[in-house]
Structure 1
């Protein structure tokens, strides 16, 4: 095996994976966190109860989460082409990656926000704080360690999804593993890509744990 040829390919595949996962994570947090906040605040015991909206949002999130990612990749091809002009490559893979991760992170954020001590919220209400002030100054800051762990978990899921996106030409390490490791029987390439993915996952989890520990008030 000629490593002078494969090392540049592995480097490019790693960068493509980081690019896909990084951008998808930004979209996921930007859209998933507000959804999680809405799920908590519109609950019957939330800051602004709205049962119909809560039920609709919950049903939509559950429906999106129940769709297998490999099917989502195919279903959103027209949307991907509309948004980025192509359905293959690292940039195109960001669309299905984001759509798969947003409902997942919304539930993670909802769970983290529900862990906040109810007494803190009631104390803020007693001081006359508005719902927005409570969300921005109580709920999110208090849930930040859990949210950070949730982001780490989401990134790890996105790494797995990005590898799966290689099945339809999504680029990255998954694409490299499938096109060369599997289809061309380059076992060494398959092993190296798997090792790189494991290293990425371990690094993200360790970073998330450390950051969450620093942010924890306990």
Structure 2
């Protein structure tokens, strides 16, 4: 299944919001485990010029060296997330007061009613397109991410943003070569890494959960 649409659970009975996830199906049969369990860890640890993960990275490489996925192994690579309506994905821990407003909304905010809740939306828009928000719930304030209806995450868009960052790094004469290399490897990992594995692949991965 490469597309899934669902209605989030609502304590107050809302059913209008539909979230859709789209994936690419990847056949992993015979491919190296090391390259797909944690693609970024694999790429960075395989590069002698970088030492981001130290001994753990080398342990990861040695433990999984030569191991491959059995026939029938597959994974899904997340391509996009979209919604039928504006929504806020709230974090779990609440704020008790307005004290955090100046820090969260340094560029100001607007107040809206969303799904029956008072919501405070930042005027700042981040590169990945979500907007910081606070929602008043039972006299407390929960922080979250405000997303407009339509596509609110795209793998291609994320890669495009990271390529622009790479371009800026390369144009800055003060940027270390290691920083440029790490950004290049990060983009490679975005293009390859899996989001979720099927049971055949997962059972094989579970054999190596303990690295030592």
Q: TM-score when scaled to structure 1? A: 0.25
Please identify which structure carries the higher strand content. 2
Which one has a bigger Cα radius of gyration?
A: 2
Please identify which structure carries the higher helix content. 1
